[in-house]
Structure 1
């Protein structure tokens, strides 16, 4: 997808990055056939690289220094690297990191490289699969999400800190940040009304007492599959310590326009939802859909069909509360 946050680089710069990460002997020669931009993401630019010896890697580059991003997206690449380090200890397959550079010497942003995974994007191919195949993979995503959520943190909030002692304080701060982002870009929303609505239902957040690793962005489009199995879960830059119920797979339990959550919930091992859990999930849907509306302005997509779709989902979330 196209976005103003994509920090594209020249071939000469890409060659310099390869040299720094893998050594000068690995720098490809000739034309640009060794590099291919992966266009699926909406935030970082990513390239598939074929090095001189045939090794294939993926290079991710954070947004340019001069492009304004949302509050929770600041230091997103550092968050992803921290997440990958943590998740290496789980049974969920995630990328390894070959090399990371935050020096800003070659480009005006952080970047890192990882091995290329030869697999298909589940979000891209899902509609071409049979109902049985979808069910199996959705359940597998649920099980993987539960494994990630088993990791505990020292406090609620960013993986790298500083965190806070309560989930209520953390989540209300997240809502405040995203609505402030909307006001900064003059996104047409009832910001005061949304703040008041969240505050009126915030008591349900106090039931959450233990910070857990939350991927938050684990949609089917961030799952790579091969032969009917998950082989890699990617894009962990939005991770934090919070309430596992805020995970993407649970969105549709309160908002069917996001799909059918049955297989995911079964794979996760969640038998039923209490009244408190349903109330929390409605709050999380409001936060998610408001974020989706506001981020369109930060991607240069204000007024787009994507933003209108998000506005419709926000209206649903507000009505549910």
Structure 2
């Protein structure tokens, strides 16, 4: 996915970054040692073959002059903190961090190196798999997501704080940040922004049911899962984590928005039964939040075509309808 948030670097800069991370004797020589991993939507990532043949991945945050959405600020710091939490407190397989640099001396943004994971991206191969195999993988994803959500936080909100004991206040604030981002860039969401605010206000009481902050991955789509030989071998991309309601997780999205696929296998692996009426309303709110982001981010990322916008806009209407608002 092409986006102006991708902070591409010259071969000379990449070599300098490799030298700082791994030492002079491992700096690649010649050509063909670096290739961009193109399926990401936000950060740029390179697959790099070191001089000794070892393969690593370099992930670089967006350039500082590119405006990102409010919730995306400091995303790489969030990812590093999340990786540390998951490595030390769960059995969920995640990348190790070989080296991280936030000095901005060699590059104008944060970056880190991790080993290359020799496995298939589930999001890429999912449609080629028999249903039984795909479902088996998604059950594993559900189980892993439940373990991630088992980690408790001191308060709701960003990992780095500030926290708040009220999930209603935190989610309302997250929602408002997205709306203000859209208004600031005059993004056409197909609705009056205050109408969307009113929908959230009408249903915000359901958020009070959530009283225990849990670590939420929020970006655990199949495209962030690496698999091999029937096993989940690594979960990647952790920059959107926060302490919140586990029902906001990506794997539940299809329960309210059919375009995101049948969530049955994920929910089975997670151990989640049928949602209660209140949980369904919360899921509708979370679906609306996601669709607002997917529409508004197309402007922030200066997409070269309207494919994502054209896909997401009708889904935003669907999310509004699930909360009682339809076009007349």
TM-score (norm 2): 0.96
Partner of 2:152: 152
- Give the equivalent residue in structure 2 for 1:9: 9
2:4 touches 2:66 (CA, 8 Å); kept in 1?
Answer: yes
TM-score, structure 1 as length reference: 0.98
Where does 1:1-321 land on structure 2 (aligned, <5 Å)? 1-31=1-31, 33-88=32-87, 89-189=89-189, 190-301=192-303, 304-321=306-323
C-alpha distance 291-64 of structure 1, shift in aligned 2 (>3 A): same
Q: Secondary structure at the match of 1:135?
A: helix
What is the aligned residue count? 320
Structure 1: gaps of 5 or more residues: none
Q: Is the 8 A contact 1:301 1:307 kept in 2?
A: no
Once residues 258 and 49 of structure 1 are traced to their aligned partners in structure 2, the CA distance between those partners, rounded to angstroms, is 33
Give the conservation status (yes or no) of the 8 Å contact 2:2–2:304: no
Q: Is the 8 A contact 1:17 1:106 kept in 2?
A: yes
Unaligned runs of 5+ in 2: 324-328
Q: 1:125-173, CA deviations, whole angstroms, 9 ceiling, x for partnerless residues?
A: 0000001101101111111110100001111010111111110000000
- Aligned equivalents of 1:26 and 1:268: distance in 2? 42
Superposition deviation, residue 14 in structure 1: 0.3
User: How far, CA to CA, are the matches of 2:29 and 2:258 in structure 1?
Assistant: 51
Whole-angstrom distance in 1 between the partners of 2:82 and 2:225: 16
| Post-superposition CA distance 1:30-67 (Å, at most 9, x none) | 12x11111000010000001111111110000000100
- How big is each residue's C-alpha offset from its partner over 1:66-113, in whole Å with a ceiling of 9 and x where there is no partner? 000000000000000000000002111000100000000001100000
What SS does the corresponding residue of 1:300 show, helix, strand or coil? coil
Divergent runs of 4+, >3 A: none
Conserved 8 A contact 1:296-1:302: no
CA deviations 1:180-213 (Å, max 9, x no partner) are: 0101111013211111110110000001000000
* Alpha-carbon distance in structure 2 between the residues aligned to 1:245 and 1:24: 47
RMSD (Å), alpha carbons: 0.9
The Cα of 1:308 is off from its aligned counterpart by 1.1
